[in-house]
Structure 1
């Protein structure tokens, strides 16, 4: 029987997860990467966002543990703080500071470079996985009729050498800058239709020495508040080793400055004064690094009328999100799980029809994350994109009311945290007992229920 081979273009998180899955189904897997990959947890040019805060959502950590058993303990032992949502987090929502209690939902605080390095080390240890670095893919190889992709053509960086590598399946994991639309056009296929929601988001990140009298939280989140016209938000993450990673963010071109005075001035405009107060007691230990991105973009590969066999796309190459919601790694893991299931169902003996089926499954897999990210961004007036219709606006009003009454209720808070972490679909917010609880609390609020903490000054103590 002929050897079955696969090529993954891009050693991104999506690429590493794809290679992990493919190594269980194919005899040989080759990862083609343009960068020279570092031997340790170092920032590389292909991942400029690695300098900024990365939240590993609970669903993402569970999936990574399935792919790489023992990874969670390895992260903890390496110094990545393990925290419990609600107990160790302070989250300022439009309703105020959410109640702090032991939710039993745990995850690790990570640096992107640490996580990527540990996963890359595990994937590269697999005997049937090979990394080809310093290669730029210039196009796809195909059969004479351009009906099936048969590999990739690459140039070796720093030379004029051209190489051709063949495979039964090629997977594009090159991220937001993916050239798949051009590669498909070169073979005579239409580019996929795109949907964009441009929120024009910017970050500024700096490392701080954690103060000796630091508060009892591991993570501080402060959301931008569309209802008040404040598109600024921030997060402080205890990343271990006595350090805080602080990221300020703004939407609708409200970009945080990267100079000392501007950074602190922006911090003082965040919806809660808690962040600026915390930074006033901490010592900066790094320069300020900025990052800007237009917003979220979805390429509809699932709707192509014609497509070549033997070629699929995953990760940010299909859908790139506003990074403020921390969904990218988790969605990549969800897609990798779907890839594994699809290959188990279809097999590798004959991949005809596989690409179309898989891209439709990817579209369904990322739908919840897309709705969460873009729905929130479209609340801000400077965001460009199709505005929600009447029904969607009614849903938004319900969610607004949910936020106003849920912050001091364990059931509603726990449900919100699960949805935020992609561990439950957004429809969970509309379950009968949840809606009944929102209605009951709304009536109590109308009757004068106190709303402590809405001004952002009173972080609640842990209860229970």
Structure 2
């Protein structure tokens, strides 16, 4: 009798498994009809690629002319030439991404997601654009908050040497080849407002108009699901207030951040320890040093000059506290760097041939929208993704990977198939905000040290509060401008962690895995690591 019961249980389990598999295979190809994505940048394309499994058709609305022949049909050499000689993104129809020529990196986890979605992309980048990956263990010199990380790493992390302009252009070409029919692009088009039903808390679609002709007639697009991937200049908080009387709680941290970027060919400096490093990065160390520098390769080149290192690099000078680098001439910039940066950076820049204009960018702030606290007040089929939800101090290069990770979270929610479409935005807001919080804490722990910090906070009632410190506020410890407790703890812990990482290859790998979003920040709190950090702090004190 016992054997019969066991046999019945096993047979039941087998039949259930077979039923599940048959049920999966018999599902209709698309669960939903139409998704609308506002914004055709990297976040928009990655989201669209995931959603092709669930929606019969997808419309991407993009304000810029990103499918023009210059971008879509140019040779690799022509793309590089355009990138090097153009001073303004508007000349290639990219006015909506004025920071596109600044330093961007697609970090470990983000690049992994893109490779999975676009399997032919890497081969094209490597074979046609002379792009390659670089070893952070052997080919990099990395300094974080004034601390040089240990080079004796037990494992390696690869860094993709590529500029955003090329990456986005090649990715969009691959995207259009991979999804020629299912996805419709509406370029040169602006979304002017949402089409909503307040009583059901639902967004039915969007109102649009052509960008170049403001007097032209607007038109409506209707969809089952709406994504805002328009980035740091998103209008969603304004629309949600107008259409649902919904105030999205926000925190904006202004810390006088700016960049100056250009492309150059590196030549030998006579210092082999510098010349052997392809990736050289130093973050700011607020408030002791408010200037950092990032030198990252973007392409290998041929050269007949024996002193050439045969690589083109993106070079970016990053600053906070409004200590902006000059952009009027390279000679002036060199003098400025000599006074404010490590002599190694001056040496490298002195032996660099400049290929592009010096392009400044000063409109940078950390801006968090706490969509998760609104719970079911939030519209049922509408989400923010990437910079539309949260933007960061760019010195850690988190933005593009943050967007890719949120798109992957959205895919998992649809993949689970446990939720009604009307529930997806609530589930997504909670999970995606966890990703934002990780990146936000890493970024703002540094932001809060800025001598001239300005913090603007808005609550659910729409009430705003602005606090600002002057150069003396750090000394006087203005109570209103003290960082939150969690930030103060993080500042203390990161400081002593980095002192340990200066002497430990494993801890250097751990911090770089967190910065590259390959691992959760909790890896920095392993019991053995926590003990090392606390012992280090106690010995010094």
Query: 1:315 touches 1:328 (CA, 8 Å); kept in 2?
Result: yes
Counterpart selection for 1:370 from 436, 440, 445:
440
RMSD: 2.3
SS in 1 for 2:253: strand
SS in 1 for 2:409: helix
1:376-404 deviation per Cα after TM superposition (whole angstroms, max 9, x unaligned): 11122222236334564244223212222
Partner of 1:332: 403
Q: Does 1:104 align with 2:156?
A: yes
Counterpart selection for 1:423 from 518, 522, 541:
518
Counterpart selection for 2:249 from 171, 193, 201:
193
1-structure distance, mates of 2:365, 2:198: 39
Partner of 2:280: 220
Partner of 2:62: 33
The offset of 1:443, in angstroms, is 7.9
The offset of 1:235, in angstroms, is 0.9
Counterpart selection for 2:193 from 125, 135, 139:
139
Query: 1:315 touches 1:331 (CA, 8 Å); kept in 2?
Result: yes
The offset of 1:187, in angstroms, is 1.8
Partner of 1:344: 415
1-structure distance, mates of 2:414, 2:499: 44
2-structure distance, mates of 1:258, 1:347: 54
The offset of 1:421, in angstroms, is 1.1
Partner of 1:250: 319
Counterpart selection for 1:406 from 475, 492, 501:
501
2-structure distance, mates of 1:398, 1:365: 20
Alignment CA distance shift 1:308-1:90 (3 Å): same
1-structure distance, mates of 2:234, 2:418: 27
The worse-fitting range, judged by mean Cα deviation, of 216-225 and 387-396 is: 387-396
Counterpart selection for 2:240 from 184, 189, 198:
184
SS in 2 for 1:50: coil
Query: 1:75 touches 1:108 (CA, 8 Å); kept in 2?
Result: no
Query: 2:150 touches 2:505 (CA, 8 Å); kept in 1?
Result: yes
Query: 1:189 touches 1:307 (CA, 8 Å); kept in 2?
Result: no
1:443-463 deviation per Cα after TM superposition (whole angstroms, max 9, x unaligned): 8889xxxxxxxxxxxxxxxxx
| Structure 1 alignment gaps of length 5 or more | 447-464
The worse-fitting range, judged by mean Cα deviation, of 167-176 and 78-87 is: 78-87
Equivalent residue runs for 1:25-424 within 5 Å: 25-37=54-66, 38=68, 39-40=71-72, 43=89, 44-77=94-127, 78-94=129-145, 96-101=147-152, 103-125=155-177, 126=179, 127-143=181-197, 145=199, 147-159=201-213, 160-212=216-268, 215-226=275-286, 229-240=288-299, 241=301, 242-260=311-329, 261-304=331-374, 306-346=377-417, 350-385=420-455, 387-390=482-485, 392-424=487-519
Query: 1:154 touches 1:162 (CA, 8 Å); kept in 2?
Result: yes
The offset of 1:358, in angstroms, is 1.2
Query: 1:141 touches 1:150 (CA, 8 Å); kept in 2?
Result: yes
Partner of 2:463: none
Alignment CA distance shift 1:387-1:17 (3 Å): farther
1-structure distance, mates of 2:160, 2:198: 49
The worse-fitting range, judged by mean Cα deviation, of 301-310 and 366-375 is: 301-310
1:170-213 deviation per Cα after TM superposition (whole angstroms, max 9, x unaligned): 11111111111222223233130111121120111122222156
Partner of 2:527: 432
| Structure 2 alignment gaps of length 5 or more | 1-27, 73-78, 84-88, 302-310, 456-480
Alignment CA distance shift 1:355-1:93 (3 Å): closer
Tell me which structure has the larger Cα radius of gyration.
Answer: 2
2-structure distance, mates of 1:367, 1:29: 29
Alignment CA distance shift 1:96-1:358 (3 Å): closer
Alignment CA distance shift 1:158-1:196 (3 Å): closer
The worse-fitting range, judged by mean Cα deviation, of 334-343 and 359-368 is: 359-368
How many equivalent pairs are there? 444
1:271-317 deviation per Cα after TM superposition (whole angstroms, max 9, x unaligned): 41110111111222222100012410011222225222221111111
Partner of 1:452: none
Q: Which has the higher helix share?
A: 2
Under a length normalisation based on structure 2, what TM-score does the superposition of the two structures give?
0.77
2-structure distance, mates of 1:207, 1:95: 25
2-structure distance, mates of 1:353, 1:32: 24
2-structure distance, mates of 1:115, 1:49: 14
Alignment CA distance shift 1:104-1:74 (3 Å): farther
Query: 1:61 touches 1:107 (CA, 8 Å); kept in 2?
Result: no
